Structure 1
Amino acid sequence: MNDVWLGVIEGITEFLPISSTGHLLVAEHWLGARSDTYNIVIQAGAILAVTLIYWRRLVELLTNWSDPDNRDYLFKLLIAFGITAALGLIVKKLGFELPTTITPIAWALLIGGFWIIAAEHFAAKLPDSTRITLRVAVAVGLAQIVAGVFPGTSRSGATIFVAMLLGTSNRAAATEFAFLVGIPTMYAASGYELLKQFTHGAHHQVENWTSLGIAFVVSTITAFIAVKWLLGYIQVHRFTIFAVYRILFGGLLLALTATGTLG
């Protein structure tokens, strides 16, 4: 049953702007820690879900070369992904990584909540635009690195709102670009980490591959439902509900750590 819960948590939180890292850490406090291989695989389930949602768009981008707008969009995706991949490797080589403990993640959740409110406020003053400019592509690539280095930031939150602030003020357009960039980025990151785990024999730490398979399937299904809901929700609503949730959740985590309930 714990594997089902972890799959649900991963599926819901991976692409909503509320930080999957923070939620999984809290969940593991009560459900028990899982191996790195386990966490990588259930994350892959969430990525697969988004790939299935956008499969027609992905096929169009990869095959419809005659459309100049299509080529331009694909070029911007490659720019964003290239920046993330290059800087991500540098960050890995330098070994720069913050500890994934509750307190810094709680603060990241709080700060991110206020960041969403500010981003929505200033983006609302911009003319509605679905265009992805070069500076948006570069900024999204950089935002993915920031989210990767600072646990609790939320990759989707960082990328969506930097895109909105820099000109792609349309929520749906900013979200689509952020998610499409996230697909190759997260596949590459998961593949890289999984290869490291198998190279060092860490995959033997996985206690039960059947349980892992269940969590993977649950994560995929849950993420599919969550992302489909989000894409419909943002057509007519702001992201404010997620900002409020982040602030409340971050405050709760700080309170729990202060009382010693969470370590």
Structure 2
Amino acid sequence: MDNIFLAAVLGLLEGLTEFIPVSSTGHLLLAGHFLGFDSPGNTFEVVIQLGAVLALISLYAAKLTGLALRARTDPAAMRSLLSLLIAFLPAVFIGLLAHDFIKTVLFDTPMLIAVMLIVGGVILLMIDRIAPPPVHFDATGLPLRKALVIGICQCVAMIPGVSRSGATIVGALMLGVEKRAAAEFSFLLSLPTMGAAVAYDLFKSRDLLDFSAMADIAVGFAVAFVSAVLVVRAVLGFVGRHGYAVFGWWRIIVGTIAVIALSAGA
């Protein structure tokens, strides 16, 4: 199969799944395994994530800039920025400690990824039913203590297949954050988290990075950017109306297919 086409497929997969609770990393790793796509030093996978990050920046730049400009004189704006920082810090701590184990062991275990997709899907279905009534409706107005708990939940997503957005959304829902606000806080938290993760991956893998297939990388990057913009714009309204059950079923179906295929030796 032509590498440019594969790059476009994987870029689309990254953009479509990065900001919904289905695990973009899990989908990319499984797709790469089954399609036989090899990227020396994981250069392709790292760079196309930047496309998704830039998509989110383009959509939230005005909001974040406004918060930063008001922070000096507006305590609420300062608290909003502080809540994101506090939620981000646990991932920094765990990520620095466990980076090599995650990348060299967990990322090379397709069956673990498939099983975590299924487990996460079941949890999403349960949480969508049992989450307490919401008491927080503004993603930029969460109490600092609850922001920290959501940040701790995010650390579970370092296991591929769990989903960073899934872990943060589940944590937020159980803390009484409304469904749309939970998704938006997850989006905002992904900016420092993904930005730092990509930068650290590039630094740690600097001797292994291979940019020889620039055409593949450029196509994947562009497709990831465009598809991520479309998903972020659509998903807030969707979860506000329909909740997260559809993503739970998606995870269970994809994970089950992957388990069957892997068990058959694929």
Confirm or deny a common fold (TM above 0.5): yes
State the partner residue of 2:75: 68
Q: 2:153 aligns with which of 143, 149, 158?
A: 143
Taking the aligned partners of 1:134 and 1:64, their CA distance within structure 2 comes to 18
CA distance in 1, matches of 2:216, 2:112: 30
**C-alpha contact 1:105 1:152 (8 A) present in aligned 2:** yes
Q: Write out the 4+ residue segments of structure 1 that deviate beyond 6 Å after TM superposition.
A: none
1:139-183 C-alpha deviation (Å, 9 max, x unpaired): 2211222101x1100000000110110121x11111111111110
Answer whether contact 1:135 1:166 (CA < 8 A) is retained.
no
Code of the aligned partner of 2:30: V
Q: Structure 2 residue aligned with 1:165, among 162, 171, 174?
A: 174
Letter in 2 for 1:212: I
Alignment of 1:33-48 (within 5 A): 33-35=38-40, 36-48=42-54
Report the equivalent of 1:248. Answer: 253
What amino acid does structure 1 have at the position aligned with 2:237? G
Structure 2 residue identity aligned to 1:208: A
Q: What secondary structure, in the 3-state scheme, does the structure 2 residue paired with 1:234 have?
A: helix
What displacement does 1:26 show?
2.6
Q: CA RMSD in A?
A: 1.7
Q: Which of 68, 90, 97 in structure 2 is aligned with 1:83? A: 90
2:21 counterpart residue number: 17
Task: Give the drift of 1:92.
Answer: 3.0
The aligned counterpart of 2:198 is: 190
How many residues end up aligned between the 2 structures?
Answer: 254
Tell me how far 1:128 sits from its aligned partner. Answer: 4.0
Matched residue SS, 1:129 = coil
Alpha-carbon distance change, 24 to 233 in structure 1, aligned in 2, over 3 angstroms:
same
CA distances 1:191-228 after superposition (whole Å, capped 9, x unpaired):
11112222x2x12x333112211211111011111111
Shift of 1:96: 5.5
Maintained 8 Å contact 1:14/1:20: yes
Change (3 A) 1:2 1:196: same
Greater CA drift, 156-165 or 139-148? 139-148
1:140·1:178 contact (CA, 8 Å) conserved in 2? no
* Counterpart residue number, 1:216: 221
2:12–2:223 contact (8 Å) kept in structure 1 = yes
Distance (Å, rounded) in 2 between the aligned partners of 1:215 and 1:253: 23
5+ long unaligned stretches in structure 1: none
Matched ranges for 1:50-61 at <5 A: 50-61=56-67
Query: Aligned pair 1:116/2:124, yes or no?
Result: yes
Q: Match of 2:115?
A: 107
Q: Work out the percentage of aligned pairs sharing the same amino acid.
A: 35
Name the counterpart of 1:153. 162
The answer to whether the Cα contact below 8 Å between 1:17 and 1:157 also exists between their aligned partners in 2 is yes
1:14-55 deviations in whole A, cap 9, x for unaligned? 111111122112321215222311110001111111111111
